[in-house]
Structure 1
Amino acid sequence: MGSVIMHSVASVDGFIADDNDDVGPLHEWYFNGDVPIRERDQGYDHSGAGSRFRVSPASAEYVRTMWNRIGTIVMGRRLFDLVNGWEGQPPTGDHVVVVSHRPKPAGWHPEASYHFVGDVAAAVDRARELAGDRDVAVNAGDVGGQILAAGLVDEVAMDVVPVVFGSGRRYFGRTDGRYPLAGPHVVVHGDGVLHLRFKARP
Protein backbone atom coordinates (compact mmCIF):
# COMPACT_ATOMS: atom_id res chain seq x y z
CA MET A 1 0.00 0.00 0.00
CA GLY A 2 1.22 3.48 -0.84
CA SER A 3 1.42 6.56 1.36
CA VAL A 4 -1.10 9.34 1.96
CA ILE A 5 0.68 12.60 1.14
CA MET A 6 -0.81 16.01 1.88
CA HIS A 7 0.46 18.34 -0.82
CA SER A 8 0.16 21.79 -2.30
CA VAL A 9 2.11 24.84 -3.39
CA ALA A 10 2.28 27.48 -0.65
CA SER A 11 3.55 30.98 0.06
CA VAL A 12 6.30 31.30 2.65
CA ASP A 13 3.65 32.34 5.19
CA GLY A 14 1.62 29.21 4.55
CA PHE A 15 -1.18 30.20 2.16
CA ILE A 16 -2.32 28.21 -0.90
CA ALA A 17 -4.44 31.06 -2.31
CA ASP A 18 -5.52 34.55 -1.33
CA ASP A 19 -8.90 35.50 0.14
CA ASN A 20 -10.44 35.45 -3.36
CA ASP A 21 -9.06 31.96 -4.17
CA ASP A 22 -6.48 33.51 -6.52
CA VAL A 23 -3.15 31.65 -6.48
CA GLY A 24 -1.25 34.67 -7.80
CA PRO A 25 2.40 33.76 -8.52
CA LEU A 26 2.29 30.42 -6.65
CA HIS A 27 2.16 28.29 -9.81
CA GLU A 28 4.57 30.29 -11.97
CA TRP A 29 7.41 27.83 -11.34
CA TYR A 30 5.38 25.18 -13.20
CA PHE A 31 5.98 27.16 -16.39
CA ASN A 32 9.35 28.91 -15.91
CA GLY A 33 11.72 26.16 -17.05
CA ASP A 34 12.75 24.15 -20.07
CA VAL A 35 11.99 20.60 -18.92
CA PRO A 36 8.51 19.13 -19.40
CA ILE A 37 7.27 17.30 -16.32
CA ARG A 38 5.74 14.48 -18.34
CA GLU A 39 5.55 13.34 -21.93
CA ARG A 40 1.75 13.46 -22.03
CA ASP A 41 1.03 16.86 -20.48
CA GLN A 42 -2.58 17.59 -19.53
CA GLY A 43 -2.01 21.29 -20.17
CA TYR A 44 -3.91 22.39 -17.05
CA ASP A 45 -3.00 25.81 -15.72
CA HIS A 46 -4.98 27.33 -12.83
CA SER A 47 -3.86 30.82 -13.85
CA GLY A 48 -5.46 30.43 -17.27
CA ALA A 49 -2.24 31.10 -19.18
CA GLY A 50 -2.64 27.88 -21.14
CA SER A 51 1.05 27.00 -20.87
CA ARG A 52 2.36 23.46 -20.56
CA PHE A 53 4.11 22.28 -17.43
CA ARG A 54 7.80 23.10 -18.01
CA VAL A 55 10.05 23.45 -14.98
CA SER A 56 13.69 23.58 -13.95
CA PRO A 57 15.70 20.32 -14.08
CA ALA A 58 15.71 19.95 -10.27
CA SER A 59 11.94 20.45 -10.05
CA ALA A 60 11.33 18.12 -13.00
CA GLU A 61 13.10 15.20 -11.36
CA TYR A 62 11.30 15.81 -8.06
CA VAL A 63 7.83 16.31 -9.54
CA ARG A 64 8.07 13.43 -12.01
CA THR A 65 9.08 11.01 -9.26
CA MET A 66 6.27 12.18 -7.01
CA TRP A 67 3.57 12.32 -9.70
CA ASN A 68 4.45 8.88 -11.06
CA ARG A 69 3.70 7.43 -7.63
CA ILE A 70 0.24 9.00 -7.33
CA GLY A 71 -2.76 6.83 -8.06
CA THR A 72 -5.54 8.94 -6.55
CA ILE A 73 -6.05 12.60 -5.64
CA VAL A 74 -8.33 13.64 -2.77
CA MET A 75 -9.76 17.13 -3.07
CA GLY A 76 -12.49 19.23 -1.45
CA ARG A 77 -15.64 20.39 -3.20
CA ARG A 78 -14.46 24.00 -3.14
CA LEU A 79 -11.42 23.22 -5.29
CA PHE A 80 -13.46 20.90 -7.50
CA ASP A 81 -15.89 23.73 -8.23
CA LEU A 82 -13.11 26.29 -8.76
CA VAL A 83 -11.33 24.21 -11.41
CA ASN A 84 -14.37 22.25 -12.59
CA GLY A 85 -12.57 19.06 -11.60
CA TRP A 86 -9.83 19.76 -14.15
CA GLU A 87 -12.46 18.85 -16.76
CA GLY A 88 -12.16 15.19 -15.79
CA GLN A 89 -8.39 15.09 -16.39
CA PRO A 90 -6.42 15.46 -13.13
CA PRO A 91 -2.81 16.66 -13.40
CA THR A 92 -1.68 13.20 -12.31
CA GLY A 93 -3.12 9.92 -11.10
CA ASP A 94 -5.98 7.87 -12.49
CA HIS A 95 -8.70 8.65 -9.95
CA VAL A 96 -10.07 11.55 -7.91
CA VAL A 97 -12.07 11.40 -4.70
CA VAL A 98 -14.02 14.57 -3.87
CA VAL A 99 -15.03 15.17 -0.25
CA SER A 100 -18.53 16.55 -0.59
CA HIS A 101 -22.07 16.09 0.68
CA ARG A 102 -23.28 17.01 -2.80
CA PRO A 103 -23.17 14.44 -5.61
CA LYS A 104 -21.27 14.71 -8.86
CA PRO A 105 -22.94 17.30 -11.11
CA ALA A 106 -25.47 15.66 -13.41
CA GLY A 107 -23.90 14.69 -16.73
CA TRP A 108 -20.42 15.86 -15.71
CA HIS A 109 -17.72 13.86 -17.56
CA PRO A 110 -19.25 10.39 -17.03
CA GLU A 111 -16.06 8.79 -18.35
CA ALA A 112 -13.90 10.25 -15.57
CA SER A 113 -13.06 8.20 -12.46
CA TYR A 114 -14.30 10.78 -9.95
CA HIS A 115 -15.94 9.62 -6.72
CA PHE A 116 -17.90 11.85 -4.32
CA VAL A 117 -17.69 10.83 -0.66
CA GLY A 118 -19.29 12.54 2.35
CA ASP A 119 -16.53 12.42 4.99
CA VAL A 120 -12.75 12.48 5.10
CA ALA A 121 -12.15 9.03 6.60
CA ALA A 122 -14.33 7.36 3.98
CA ALA A 123 -12.68 9.46 1.28
CA VAL A 124 -9.20 8.28 2.28
CA ASP A 125 -10.39 4.65 2.45
CA ARG A 126 -11.86 4.92 -1.06
CA ALA A 127 -8.76 6.69 -2.37
CA ARG A 128 -6.47 3.97 -0.98
CA GLU A 129 -8.64 1.29 -2.55
CA LEU A 130 -8.49 3.00 -5.93
CA ALA A 131 -4.75 3.75 -5.71
CA GLY A 132 -3.73 0.15 -4.95
CA ASP A 133 0.01 0.15 -4.24
CA ARG A 134 0.42 3.76 -5.42
CA ASP A 135 0.21 6.91 -3.30
CA VAL A 136 -2.79 9.04 -2.41
CA ALA A 137 -2.26 12.80 -2.81
CA VAL A 138 -4.44 14.95 -0.55
CA ASN A 139 -4.85 18.57 -1.61
CA ALA A 140 -3.95 20.94 1.21
CA GLY A 141 -6.55 23.31 2.66
CA ASP A 142 -9.56 22.63 4.86
CA VAL A 143 -10.06 19.04 3.72
CA GLY A 144 -6.34 18.29 3.94
CA GLY A 145 -6.26 19.77 7.45
CA GLN A 146 -9.17 17.56 8.49
CA ILE A 147 -7.40 14.48 7.14
CA LEU A 148 -4.20 15.45 8.98
CA ALA A 149 -6.16 16.02 12.21
CA ALA A 150 -7.73 12.57 11.80
CA GLY A 151 -4.24 11.01 11.78
CA LEU A 152 -4.58 9.75 8.20
CA VAL A 153 -1.62 11.61 6.64
CA ASP A 154 1.75 9.86 6.28
CA GLU A 155 3.68 12.77 4.80
CA VAL A 156 3.35 16.52 4.24
CA ALA A 157 4.80 17.86 0.98
CA MET A 158 5.07 21.61 0.40
CA ASP A 159 6.28 23.47 -2.68
CA VAL A 160 7.20 26.79 -1.07
CA VAL A 161 7.28 29.88 -3.30
CA PRO A 162 9.06 33.11 -2.22
CA VAL A 163 6.01 35.33 -1.80
CA VAL A 164 4.09 36.54 1.26
CA PHE A 165 0.28 36.65 1.02
CA GLY A 166 -0.54 37.91 4.52
CA SER A 167 -3.98 36.29 4.46
CA GLY A 168 -5.98 33.82 2.44
CA ARG A 169 -6.55 30.07 2.29
CA ARG A 170 -4.23 28.34 4.73
CA TYR A 171 -2.19 25.29 3.76
CA PHE A 172 -3.45 23.43 6.84
CA GLY A 173 -6.95 24.90 6.65
CA ARG A 174 -8.75 25.84 9.83
CA THR A 175 -7.44 22.93 11.85
CA ASP A 176 -6.30 23.65 15.39
CA GLY A 177 -3.93 21.79 17.67
CA ARG A 178 -0.32 20.77 17.18
CA TYR A 179 0.79 18.12 14.72
CA PRO A 180 4.53 17.43 14.98
CA LEU A 181 6.35 16.51 11.79
CA ALA A 182 9.72 14.84 11.29
CA GLY A 183 12.34 16.12 8.90
CA PRO A 184 12.32 17.48 6.30
CA HIS A 185 13.63 14.28 4.75
CA VAL A 186 13.49 15.79 1.23
CA VAL A 187 14.76 19.27 0.35
CA VAL A 188 15.01 20.19 -3.34
CA HIS A 189 15.91 23.68 -4.60
CA GLY A 190 14.04 24.43 -7.82
CA ASP A 191 13.90 27.69 -9.76
CA GLY A 192 11.53 29.90 -7.77
CA VAL A 193 10.38 27.08 -5.50
CA LEU A 194 11.64 24.99 -2.60
CA HIS A 195 10.30 21.43 -2.43
CA LEU A 196 10.00 20.04 1.11
CA ARG A 197 8.69 16.74 2.44
CA PHE A 198 8.09 15.88 6.10
CA LYS A 199 7.04 12.63 7.75
CA ALA A 200 3.94 12.89 9.92
CA ARG A 201 4.62 11.59 13.42
CA PRO A 202 2.07 9.15 14.90
Structure 2
Amino acid sequence: MTRIIADISVSLDGFVTGPDPGPDNGLGTGGEALHTWAFSDDPDDRRFLREGTARSGAVVLGRRLFDVVDGPKGWDDTTGYGAGEVGKPAFVVVTSTPPESVRTTDLDWTFVTTGLPDAVDAARRRAEAAAADRGKDLDVVLMGGAATIRSALDAGLLDALTLHLSPVVLGAGTPLFTGGTPRKLVQRSVTPTSTATHLSYDVSR
Protein backbone atom coordinates (compact mmCIF):
# COMPACT_ATOMS: atom_id res chain seq x y z
CA MET A 1 0.00 0.00 0.00
CA THR A 2 1.29 3.46 -0.91
CA ARG A 3 1.51 5.79 2.07
CA ILE A 4 1.94 9.57 2.14
CA ILE A 5 4.88 10.37 4.42
CA ALA A 6 6.35 13.75 5.35
CA ASP A 7 10.09 13.43 6.06
CA ILE A 8 12.16 16.41 7.18
CA SER A 9 15.06 17.46 9.41
CA VAL A 10 14.30 19.96 12.19
CA SER A 11 16.24 21.80 14.90
CA LEU A 12 15.54 21.48 18.61
CA ASP A 13 13.73 24.82 18.48
CA GLY A 14 11.54 23.74 15.58
CA PHE A 15 13.16 25.26 12.49
CA VAL A 16 13.78 23.49 9.17
CA THR A 17 16.16 26.20 7.91
CA GLY A 18 18.35 28.79 9.54
CA PRO A 19 17.77 32.54 9.05
CA ASP A 20 17.69 34.04 5.54
CA PRO A 21 17.17 30.95 3.38
CA GLY A 22 17.04 31.35 -0.38
CA PRO A 23 18.38 30.01 -3.71
CA ASP A 24 21.91 31.15 -2.84
CA ASN A 25 21.67 30.11 0.82
CA GLY A 26 19.37 27.10 0.65
CA LEU A 27 19.21 26.04 4.30
CA GLY A 28 19.79 29.51 5.69
CA THR A 29 22.58 30.59 8.00
CA GLY A 30 23.69 27.58 10.04
CA GLY A 31 21.04 25.35 8.51
CA GLU A 32 23.53 22.86 7.11
CA ALA A 33 23.82 21.45 10.63
CA LEU A 34 20.28 20.05 10.25
CA HIS A 35 21.50 17.50 7.72
CA THR A 36 24.72 16.39 9.40
CA TRP A 37 23.07 13.02 10.02
CA ALA A 38 22.64 12.43 6.27
CA PHE A 39 26.42 12.47 5.80
CA SER A 40 27.23 10.53 8.98
CA ASP A 41 28.95 7.17 9.13
CA ASP A 42 26.74 6.06 12.02
CA PRO A 43 25.05 2.76 11.00
CA ASP A 44 21.60 3.94 12.12
CA ASP A 45 21.94 7.24 10.26
CA ARG A 46 22.98 5.33 7.13
CA ARG A 47 20.05 2.95 7.57
CA PHE A 48 17.51 5.79 7.80
CA LEU A 49 18.91 7.41 4.67
CA ARG A 50 19.03 4.10 2.78
CA GLU A 51 15.55 2.97 3.81
CA GLY A 52 14.02 6.39 3.23
CA THR A 53 15.40 6.56 -0.28
CA ALA A 54 14.48 2.96 -1.07
CA ARG A 55 10.83 3.48 -0.07
CA SER A 56 10.44 6.66 -2.16
CA GLY A 57 8.26 6.00 -5.18
CA ALA A 58 7.72 9.72 -5.74
CA VAL A 59 8.69 12.90 -3.89
CA VAL A 60 6.60 16.07 -3.45
CA LEU A 61 8.10 19.49 -2.83
CA GLY A 62 7.03 23.11 -2.94
CA ARG A 63 8.19 25.69 -5.47
CA ARG A 64 10.50 27.54 -3.08
CA LEU A 65 12.34 24.34 -2.27
CA PHE A 66 12.50 23.46 -5.97
CA ASP A 67 14.14 26.83 -6.69
CA VAL A 68 16.79 26.00 -4.08
CA VAL A 69 17.56 22.45 -5.20
CA ASP A 70 17.49 23.36 -8.91
CA GLY A 71 19.47 26.56 -8.37
CA PRO A 72 23.18 27.02 -9.16
CA LYS A 73 24.15 26.01 -5.61
CA GLY A 74 21.59 23.21 -5.40
CA TRP A 75 21.71 19.47 -5.96
CA ASP A 76 24.46 17.65 -7.76
CA ASP A 77 25.61 14.02 -7.89
CA THR A 78 26.87 14.17 -4.29
CA THR A 79 24.13 16.18 -2.56
CA GLY A 80 20.87 15.31 -4.35
CA TYR A 81 17.98 13.35 -2.89
CA GLY A 82 19.42 10.10 -1.59
CA ALA A 83 22.72 10.75 -3.37
CA GLY A 84 24.73 7.55 -3.47
CA GLU A 85 21.68 5.43 -2.64
CA VAL A 86 19.45 3.30 -4.83
CA GLY A 87 17.76 4.96 -7.79
CA LYS A 88 16.08 8.33 -8.21
CA PRO A 89 12.33 8.75 -7.72
CA ALA A 90 9.99 10.98 -9.67
CA PHE A 91 9.65 14.52 -8.30
CA VAL A 92 6.37 16.44 -8.20
CA VAL A 93 6.48 20.21 -7.58
CA VAL A 94 3.51 22.22 -6.30
CA THR A 95 3.61 25.61 -8.01
CA SER A 96 1.40 28.33 -9.42
CA THR A 97 3.71 28.73 -12.43
CA PRO A 98 6.10 26.12 -13.84
CA PRO A 99 9.69 27.30 -14.35
CA GLU A 100 10.80 28.37 -17.80
CA SER A 101 13.79 26.02 -17.63
CA VAL A 102 15.22 23.31 -15.37
CA ARG A 103 18.92 22.88 -14.57
CA THR A 104 18.70 19.33 -13.19
CA THR A 105 17.42 17.77 -16.39
CA ASP A 106 18.64 14.32 -15.34
CA LEU A 107 15.78 14.16 -12.81
CA ASP A 108 12.13 13.37 -13.55
CA TRP A 109 10.17 16.58 -12.78
CA THR A 110 6.39 17.08 -12.90
CA PHE A 111 4.90 20.51 -12.12
CA VAL A 112 1.35 20.64 -10.77
CA THR A 113 -0.44 24.00 -10.80
CA THR A 114 -3.81 22.92 -9.36
CA GLY A 115 -2.89 22.60 -5.71
CA LEU A 116 -1.32 20.26 -3.18
CA PRO A 117 -4.03 17.54 -3.19
CA ASP A 118 -3.64 17.16 -6.96
CA ALA A 119 0.15 17.06 -6.59
CA VAL A 120 -0.13 14.31 -3.98
CA ASP A 121 -2.51 12.39 -6.26
CA ALA A 122 -0.07 12.72 -9.16
CA ALA A 123 2.78 11.54 -6.95
CA ARG A 124 0.69 8.61 -5.72
CA ARG A 125 0.09 7.49 -9.29
CA ARG A 126 3.81 7.70 -10.05
CA ALA A 127 4.67 5.78 -6.87
CA GLU A 128 2.12 3.07 -7.60
CA ALA A 129 3.43 2.68 -11.15
CA ALA A 130 7.01 2.42 -9.83
CA ALA A 131 5.85 -0.10 -7.21
CA ALA A 132 4.27 -2.26 -9.90
CA ASP A 133 7.49 -2.17 -11.92
CA ARG A 134 9.68 -3.09 -8.93
CA GLY A 135 7.29 -5.55 -7.33
CA LYS A 136 7.29 -3.89 -3.89
CA ASP A 137 5.37 -1.22 -2.00
CA LEU A 138 6.62 2.34 -2.45
CA ASP A 139 5.51 5.55 -0.75
CA VAL A 140 5.02 9.20 -1.59
CA VAL A 141 7.45 11.32 0.43
CA LEU A 142 6.85 15.01 1.13
CA MET A 143 10.31 16.45 1.63
CA GLY A 144 9.24 20.06 2.19
CA GLY A 145 9.38 22.85 2.53
CA ALA A 146 7.73 23.52 5.84
CA ALA A 147 4.66 25.21 4.34
CA THR A 148 4.01 22.22 2.09
CA ILE A 149 4.22 19.79 5.00
CA ARG A 150 2.02 22.00 7.22
CA SER A 151 -0.57 22.27 4.46
CA ALA A 152 -0.57 18.50 3.94
CA LEU A 153 -0.98 17.90 7.66
CA ASP A 154 -3.80 20.45 7.94
CA ALA A 155 -5.58 18.94 4.93
CA GLY A 156 -5.40 15.42 6.35
CA LEU A 157 -3.25 14.17 3.47
CA LEU A 158 -0.51 12.56 5.56
CA ASP A 159 -0.35 8.98 6.80
CA ALA A 160 2.95 9.37 8.62
CA LEU A 161 5.52 11.92 9.74
CA THR A 162 9.25 11.28 10.10
CA LEU A 163 11.39 13.91 11.85
CA HIS A 164 15.16 13.94 12.10
CA LEU A 165 15.68 16.04 15.22
CA SER A 166 19.12 17.61 15.04
CA PRO A 167 20.98 18.66 18.20
CA VAL A 168 21.20 22.32 17.19
CA VAL A 169 19.36 25.48 18.26
CA LEU A 170 19.10 27.87 15.30
CA GLY A 171 17.28 30.69 17.08
CA ALA A 172 15.42 31.74 13.92
CA GLY A 173 14.59 30.49 10.46
CA THR A 174 11.65 28.68 8.87
CA PRO A 175 9.42 27.07 11.52
CA LEU A 176 7.98 23.65 10.78
CA PHE A 177 4.79 24.20 12.80
CA THR A 178 2.98 27.51 13.20
CA GLY A 179 -0.47 26.72 14.51
CA GLY A 180 -2.87 24.93 12.20
CA THR A 181 -5.32 22.08 12.70
CA PRO A 182 -4.64 19.92 15.79
CA ARG A 183 -3.63 16.37 14.86
CA LYS A 184 -3.13 13.26 16.94
CA LEU A 185 0.16 11.49 16.28
CA VAL A 186 0.98 7.93 17.27
CA GLN A 187 4.66 7.45 18.04
CA ARG A 188 6.10 4.43 16.24
CA SER A 189 9.85 4.64 16.75
CA VAL A 190 12.61 6.70 18.35
CA THR A 191 16.19 6.08 17.28
CA PRO A 192 18.94 8.28 18.78
CA THR A 193 22.34 8.61 17.11
CA SER A 194 25.26 10.96 17.68
CA THR A 195 23.92 13.40 15.06
CA ALA A 196 20.12 13.21 15.35
CA THR A 197 17.12 11.61 16.98
CA HIS A 198 15.01 9.93 14.32
CA LEU A 199 11.31 10.06 15.19
CA SER A 200 8.53 8.25 13.33
CA TYR A 201 4.80 8.90 13.84
CA ASP A 202 1.54 7.72 12.33
CA VAL A 203 -0.93 10.53 11.72
CA SER A 204 -4.49 9.96 12.86
CA ARG A 205 -7.09 11.26 10.42
Answering whether residue 75 of structure 2 is matched by residue 86 of structure 1, we say yes
Counterpart among 128, 144, 151 of residue 146 in structure 1: 151
Normalising to structure 1: TM-score of the pair?
Answer: 0.80
The alpha-carbon deviation at position 150 of structure 1 amounts to 0.8
Find out whether 1:61 has 2:13 as its counterpart: no
Question: Is 1:10–2:6 an aligned residue pair?
Answer: no
Unaligned runs of 5+ residues in structure 2 are 22-27, 83-87, 129-136
Q: Does 1:135 align with 2:139?
A: yes
Taking the aligned partners of 2:195 and 2:75, their CA distance within structure 1 comes to: 24
- List runs of 5+ in structure 1 lacking aligned partners: 34-55
Structure 1 range deviating more: 90-99 or 148-157: 90-99
Query: Is structure 2 residue 28 aligned with structure 1 residue 20?
Result: no
Residues 90 and 116 of structure 1: is their aligned pair in 2 closer, same or farther, counting only changes over 3 Å?
A: farther
Amino-acid identity (%):
30
Report the residue type matching 1:59 in the other structure: D
Counterpart AA for 1:134:
L
CA distance in 2, matches of 1:162, 1:97: 30
1:159·1:196 contact (CA, 8 Å) conserved in 2? yes
Aligned residue for 1:2, secondary structure, equals coil
- Which residue of structure 2 lines up, in the alignment, with residue 43 of structure 1? none
2-side partners of 1:2 and 1:122: how far apart? 16
Q: Distance in 2 between the 1:86 and 1:102 partners?
A: 21
Task: Give the counterpart letter for 2:14 in structure 1.
Answer: G
CA distance in 2, matches of 1:149, 1:177: 5
Distance 1:32 1:115 in 2: 31
Preserved contact between residue 59 and residue 189 of structure 1 (Cα < 8 Å): no
SS of alignment partner, residue 86 of structure 1:
coil
C-alpha deviation, 1:32, in angstroms: 3.4
Give the root-mean-square deviation of aligned CA atoms: 2.0
* Structure 1 contact 62–188 (Cα < 8 Å) conserved: no
Equivalent positions of 1:88-127 (< 5 A) are 90-92=80-82, 93-106=88-101, 108-118=103-113, 119-127=115-123
Give the deviation of 1:112 after TM superposition: 3.0
Report the number of matched residues: 178
Contact 1:145 1:175 in 2 (8 A): no
Cα deviation for residue 30 of structure 1 reads 2.2
Q: Distance in 2 between matches of 1:69 and 1:96?
A: 14
One of 169, 174, 180 as aligned partner of 2:174: 169
